[in-house]
Amino acid sequence: MKTLADLKKIREKAQEEMKLRDGKVRIKIVVGMGTSGIAMGAREVMKTFLEEISNRNLTDVLVTQTGEKGLSSMEPVVDVIEEGKPKVTYGNMTPEKARRVVVEHIVNGRVVSDYVVATGD
């Protein structure tokens, strides 16, 4: 390392590794991981999200989980929360649907209305 530019490169890479801790994210994907969610395959859905986000190098997206959301008949349920926009809740998710949500909603900003079960808080 010989210049400030070299340092900056290392810093950016390291910050990416630490993004979970800084709380600065554009979009949060919250997977409902209550008992029924897990029974309906929420773990697979979450894993797919994590893989897709990592593959596409989306640095400002955070995948996290929450408990039972009360929509048991529509599990697995996933919330997509974007700063300044109403929350979008997708239901009956599968890994395939998750991939589509990443491409259309997370990357291109178009809500996948086919899967939406609720919007807003």
Partner 1 sequence: MSLKRIDLLICCGSGCISAGSLKVKERFLEILADKGISNEVNIIETGCMGPCDYGPVLVVYPEGVFYKSVKPEDVEEIVTEHFLKGRPVQRLMLREEERLVSSQKEIPFYRKQVKVALANCGFINPESLEEYIATGGYEALGTVLTTMNPQQVIDVVNASGLRGRGGGGFPTHIKWQLVHDVESDEKYIICNGDEGDPGAFMDRSILEGDPHRVIEGMMIGAYAIGATKGFFYIRAEYPLAIKRIRNAIKQAKEAGLMGENIFGSDFSFIAEVRTGAGAFVCGEETALIQSIQGERGNPTPKPPYPAVKGLWNKPTVVNNVETFANIPTIFLKGADWFASMGTETSKGTKVFALTGDVNNTGLVEVPMGITLRELIFDVGGGMANGHEFKAVQLGGPSGGCLPREHLDVPVDYETLKERGAMMGSGGVIVMNDQKCMVNVAKFFIGFCVDESCGKCSPCRIGLKHMYDILDRITKGEGKDGDIEELQHLGETISRLSLCGLGQTAPNPVLSTIRYFREEYESHIKDHSCQTKVCTDLFHFMIDKDRCIGCSLCARKCPVSCITGSREEKYTISQTECIKCGNCQDVCPVKAIDRIPGMHPEVLKQIQEQQNISIEE
Residue ranges that bind partner 1, judged by CB under 8 A: 1-4, 7, 10-11, 13-15, 17-18, 20-21, 23, 25, 31-35, 38, 43, 46-47, 50-51, 54-55, 62-67
Residue 18 main-chain phi, psi, to 5 deg = -105, 10
- Which lies closer to partner 1 via its Cβ, residue 33 or residue 88? 33
- Which lies closer to partner 1 via its Cβ, residue 83 or residue 114? 83
Hey, how many other C-beta atoms are within 10 angstroms of the C-beta on 118? Answer: 16
Shortest Cβ 114–partner 1 spacing (Å)? 25
- Which lies closer to partner 1 via its Cβ, residue 59 or residue 113? 59
Pinpoint the alpha helices (H) of the chain: 4-17, 19-22, 35-39, 42-55, 95-101
Shortest Cβ 85–partner 1 spacing (Å)? 19
Shortest Cβ 90–partner 1 spacing (Å)? 16
Give the per-residue SS3 of 13-28: HHHHHCHHHHCCCCEE
Shortest Cβ 51–partner 1 spacing (Å)? 6
- Which lies closer to partner 1 via its Cβ, residue 48 or residue 105? 48
CA distances from 37 to 1, 42, 55, 76 (A): 48, 5, 25, 5
Radius of gyration of the chain, Cα coordinates, nearest whole angstrom:
16
